[in-house]
Each structure stands twice: as C-alpha cells, then as structure tokens.
Amino acid sequence: MAQADTIEELARRLDIDPDGLTAEIKEYNAAVQTDVPYNPTVKDGRGTVGLSPNKTNWAQTIDTPPYLGYAVTCGISFTFGGVRIDNRGRVLDTSLEPLPGLYAAGEMVGGLFYHNYPGGSGLSAGMVFGRLAGNSAARDAAALRD
C-alpha cells in the first residue's frame, strides 16, 4: 500500500504516470453526481455520469488526503475453454480418438463453464475429473506392465 498527500505523489509511489492518474481522478471527480446526497445505508443513486462504466451508487469524489493506493496486476485465472475428454478423462484428438497416455482434469477440461463461473465449481471439477483421470491413468499404466 502507498500513501501520499497528493495524487501526483501517490502516482510516483505506485510507479504510475502522475499526469495520467491526475487526469483520471479529475475526470472521475467531475462525473460524480455531488447534488445527490450520499447515503451508505441504501442504494443512494449517487453515481457518475459520462464514464464507462458508470458507478451507480455511493460515488464519492477523491479530493481529501491522505490518498491511499495499491499496486495491482491484471491476470487470467482460467479460460472458458480447454481440451475435450472422454468419460475416462482421456484427452481426445480432433477425430474424437483418445491420445494415448494423455489425461486432463479440472479447469483444463473444456465445456465445463458457459457464461458464468459458479463459486466452488472449479474445485469440484478438479476433484471429480482428477479422480476420474487419475484412476484411468493408473489402470492404463498397470495394463501396460502386464
């Protein structure tokens, strides 16, 4: 976390372009509907106008020091894609034939999610398909030894 008495100094401490951050804050502050009373106990309708996306409630201007900021990084936790598997967890090729010795589980498997990612479903998929693929891999490895 960084703390500063000015937006410019906060930007420098976070290794952000001071002019860019200052312009962004000015644009945001100008968009806040300050004529609407702020009420943190209800959806107060105190939003912003002209931003994309607009904030719909509880908008407050950023104009009183100290200013606090956190460095963040964008990342991808998962994608809505993956490889196709059969009912034994074996990865299938484009002809829907199993690729020998290749198994997949959890979020590596395609077709699990569409439009949404329900909480806990990634762990559930990992457990279910992990057990399935692990058992299949062990069974296939044992068959190769025999």
Q: Which two tokens stand for residue 121?
A: 């479903």
pLDDT > 80? residue 41: yes
Which pLDDT score is estimated for 60? 97
Question: What is the pTM for the complete model shown?
Answer: 0.55
Give the mean model confidence (pLDDT) for residues 34-54. 96
Q: How confident is the model at residue 78 (pLDDT cuts 50, 70, 90)?
A: low
Q: Which pLDDT tens digit goes with each residue over 112-124? A: 777 777 777 778 8
pLDDT, residue 14, reads 97
Q: How wide is the angle at C-alpha 103 spanned by C-alphas 101 and 77, nearest 5°?
A: 145
Of 29, 30, 31, 34, which Cα lies nearest the Cα of 44? 34
- 5-14 pLDDT per residue, tens: 999 999 999 9
From start to end of the chain, where are the E strands? Answer: 2-4, 67-69, 90-92, 98-103
In the numeric block, which tokens belong to residue 69? 């900021």
Is the per-residue pLDDT at 106 higher than 90? no
Q: Give the span between the Cα atoms of 139 and 105, in whole angstroms.
A: 16
Across 36-52, average pLDDT: 97
Exposure on the CB side of residue 72, measured as CA atoms within 13 A: 4
Determine phi and psi for 16, rounding to 5 degrees. Answer: -115, 150
Q: Mean of the pLDDT values across residues 35-39? A: 97
Better-predicted residue by pLDDT, 3 or 146:
3
pLDDT of residue 79: 64
Determine the average pLDDT of the residues in 46-66. Answer: 96
